[in-house]
């Protein structure tokens, strides 16, 4: 069994809540499924769950290098040199990142509002970037955008390999064939 879940902001990638964060049990009541990969509580979007240990490893293990696609709202205006640096890889405190795909995109018309909303500063514009990576270090996308001078305000994972958020509203899940 494979489950696609559109994880809301404020939900951990585990079933048990901790502190101010909710757990998956508030949304998914299926015994025997486990998260394949992580998504921070302050990030939103696609989370995959499965009851198959081999499938979980194929999705979550960095050695399989399954592409992950993110929609990132950043503070500032991404210019071509910043995007090119993201594509080439940036140096983080735990070493350089692999090559990535990065492009500026428009905010999707069907994007749900985040609760709570992001902070907006009147004098600083925001923009959206689509970033595709093949690794999954702790808070990697946020650290990558910060390294090129574009702090992340909102982070939404839209796809993992062939699986996407298509047709899923925030807080809902659907079983899919694998």
DSSP output for 52-65: -HHHHHHHH-GGG-
Tokens for 124, please give them: 């600083």
Find the CATH number of the domain harbouring 106: 3.30.70.1560
Domain that holds residue 78: 67-160
Q: Say which of 26, 40, 42, 94 is annotated catalytic.
A: 40
Domain count, the chain: 2
For residues 145 and 87, membership in a common domain is answered with yes
Q: Within this chain, do residues 73 and 152 fall inside the same structural domain, yes or no?
A: yes
State residue 59's pLDDT score.
83
pLDDT at 136: 82
Q: What is the tens place of the pLDDT at every residue in 65-74?
A: 789 999 999 9
Active site residue 40: yes
> What pLDDT band is residue 156 in, cutting at 50, 70 and 90?
very high
Supply the DSSP string of 121-171, one letter for each residue. -TTS-EEEEEEEES---TTHHHHHHHHTT--EEEEEEEEETTEE-TT--TT
């Amino acid at each position: 069994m494979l489950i696609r879940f559109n994880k809301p902001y404020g939900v951990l990638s585990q079933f048990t809540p901790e502190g101010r964060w909710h757990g998956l049990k508030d949304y998914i009541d299926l015994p025997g499924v486990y998260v394949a990969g992580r998504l921070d509580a302050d990030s939103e979007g696609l989370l995959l769950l499965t009851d198959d240990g081999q499938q979980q490893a194929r999705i979550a293990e960095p050695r399989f290098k399954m592409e992950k696609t993110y929609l990132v709202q950043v503070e500032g205006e991404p210019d071509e040199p910043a995007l090119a640096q993201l594509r080439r890889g940036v140096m983080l405190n735990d070493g350089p990142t692999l090559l990535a795909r990065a492009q500026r995109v428009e905010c999707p018309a069907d994007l749900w509002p985040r609760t709570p909303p992001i902070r907006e500063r009147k004098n600083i514009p925001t923009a959206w970037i689509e970033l595709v990576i093949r690794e999954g270090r702790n808070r990697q996308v946020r650290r990558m955008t910060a390294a090129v001078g574009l702090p992340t305000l909102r982070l939404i994972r839209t796809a993992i390999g062939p699986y996407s958020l298509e047709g899923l509203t925030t807080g809902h899940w659907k079983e899919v064939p694998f």
